[in-house]
Chain A
């Protein structure tokens, strides 16, 4: 038997600073520790076969991240989650197991929730509005061909801004797939000089979407 499953997890707190490569190791260790009946690669140095849908930038929180593994034996999913979580750092929590519906290659967008805390919320929201209503927002994007000047403003036209409590929230859906992606950190770097020095931006990736903006499943 060989059954592909998709494990959904959140990555928050201190675990935001686990790089993609290290997340891979961390998950492998947890799976190994949990003695899950998974498929290991063959060869001299066998390791757990696993793959992630889309890498998450260092420092971002992920609400609904996913990882695919192959089971070689049936196992109740709640038991699987319990055993897996026992071996993960406390800030990474696996909470759901599904059978994959889409391929990671179908991912085209990501939904982000950005919280600006500290400073004066009204001032922050005003500054953000102003930037979003400019003609362009030129940033330097590093590509394989070197640094390129690009206008990222069009991607942010759908952004929603809300002043709530002591902070400002911004929700935005950005391209995130094999056909190009826009990282919210490009926006944050560009707006930083226009915000108060004490304003702190924290990025959460809420979920991934396909080309039709249907939730990645």
Chain B
């Protein structure tokens, strides 16, 4: 696929391996033999995109169909993009090298709000009009899916349709519909009208928005027979759900370079800040047999010697130990190690560390999320200081001395005491090290506490909460730093400004499309990267366009406000979220789904934990 133009450019850029494809298990087809070409775009660098599980699942799923050829596209880094523009090389797909503008579908995965400008940049580099209304043919259909599709309004003007929920079935149905419409010579409008009838498909152009005088949404008016509410798609039987037998194996270093199996989908916990915990309800798990088979197949087709058991909360799998034992029946002989992406404070045990050798490698990471019990009750992170003490003591007594703790600041009802509670807890962890009798002596203990700024998200009990202003967040960050009394404790935090921007777009409405378009015109992109993020430029755009970002980020909403995502139905009842919000402010916890059903609404999908027997 490397032509002489590209060849010349590759000599001038960093990490040319990002831009050439040619990996093991990448799929190359004969283009005359396929009917639909799908450009799967990840709006970030190759290294990040290739670490993402979702893209690997859908890539294989599409390519199993003989009539579809799905190829990968990543955002070229700024050096590459400058060379491409200078030399008139349009954005191309990695398998064929063909321009993205030649593809039937241009699909974006929507993982984080700060990648929105990259989407526009990629469309521009492809030479495809960024606004959906300027793409008139039944071709270059721009689609999006992933967590940010739960409020896609800020990017609604650029997309033809969004997939809500699990993509494994609905994506293929839409491709099939496209194929039919092409054969019948239908128009793009006809195709979109039909697509809107498929469960899990949201066509933003089929809805008019009416706003109130105060700038809030009054209502969404569906047109041309589009449904009032668009329900997300859910695959209930994970054992039967598609999962690839092989992955594309990158030739260059990527963030996560290993085999990954998805152990379960959803989460039982109900942490009130966590959007994923609500979007992917209900909790569903794969059987031990399925997981072992899938993990083995991946290792055998890729040569990876590491398999990661991925999910929102892997240690909540009801048969975790059985699974680990089953994996051990073949991983040891095959020299494969098993890893867990995260550990829950209350699920850590000596037994677990014995079964998962990889835990042995580096430091241990836990996420208490908040520094005081009151604050943890507010966010429903049902972890106590006692449990943390027990866990880190086990760790210290078993040879660990590096502990990393994740926290959030800027949570609802948070006081300065809750903030300093973070450093206090950090100090206690250091003390518990010295109390641990069997600790490895003569080694310095180190505890790191990282504090992220909380971003309120749709479909969570905190969706009404006005985010702390940048000033308040910075005050809290300083407070954190100033209360550190021990060199063994390191406190760090990241960007209040990026969190602010993320909050604007997370709960934004359609009027923000104009802001994104202007940001794109002014050359902003790669906002998630410190070396590219230009906060002042963003603030100038808001000012120039007369848009108040605080309206979206910092304003506390009332319970009766209509949200730009209220017509999207993720199975979670708004009344439930209101109830959860009120409980949060009373610092009342809610039991997790394994203990008791709290009636969130996700039982409407008729499966998973909602229909499971409880002890």
Contacts and interface: CB of A to CB of B under 8 A. Distances in A.
Given A18-B17, A59-B10, A87 B24 contact: yes
Contacts of A162: none
Contacts of A141: none
A22 B335 contact: no
B249 A29 contact: yes
Nearest to B19: A17
Nearest to B305: A32
B389 to A, nearest CB: 29
B251 interface: yes
A127 B261 CA distance: 57
Interface stretch (A88-96, A106-114, A204-212): A88-96
Interface residues of B, number: 26
Given A13-B22, A19-B252, A89-B23, A29 B302 contact: yes
Nearest to A25: B257
Interface string A186-199: 00000000000000
A173 interface: no
A14 interface: yes
B4 A117 contact: yes
Given A89-B22, A200-B7, A40 B16 contact: no
A89 B335 CA distance: 22
Interface in B329-385: 335, 337
B304 interface: yes
A32 B303 contact: yes
B20 interface: yes
B301 interface: yes
Contacts of B301: 33
Contact of B10 (A17, A31, A87, A89): A17
Contacts of B335: 32, 40, 46
Given A14-B21, A91-B22, A117-B4, A58 B16 contact: yes
B297 to A, nearest CB: 12
A202 interface: yes
Contacts of A87: 24, 303
B252 A18 contact: yes
Contact of B251 (A26, A28, A40): A26
B11 interface: yes
A33 B22 contact: no
A18 B251 contact: yes
A89 B7 contact: no
B303 A14 contact: no
The 3 closest A-B pairs by CB, nearest first: A14-B22, A33-B303, A29-B303
Interface of B: 1-2, 4, 7-8, 10-11, 16-17, 20-24, 249, 251-253, 300-305, 335, 337
Interface of A: 13-15, 17-19, 22, 26, 28-34, 40, 45-47, 58-59, 87-91, 117-118, 200, 202
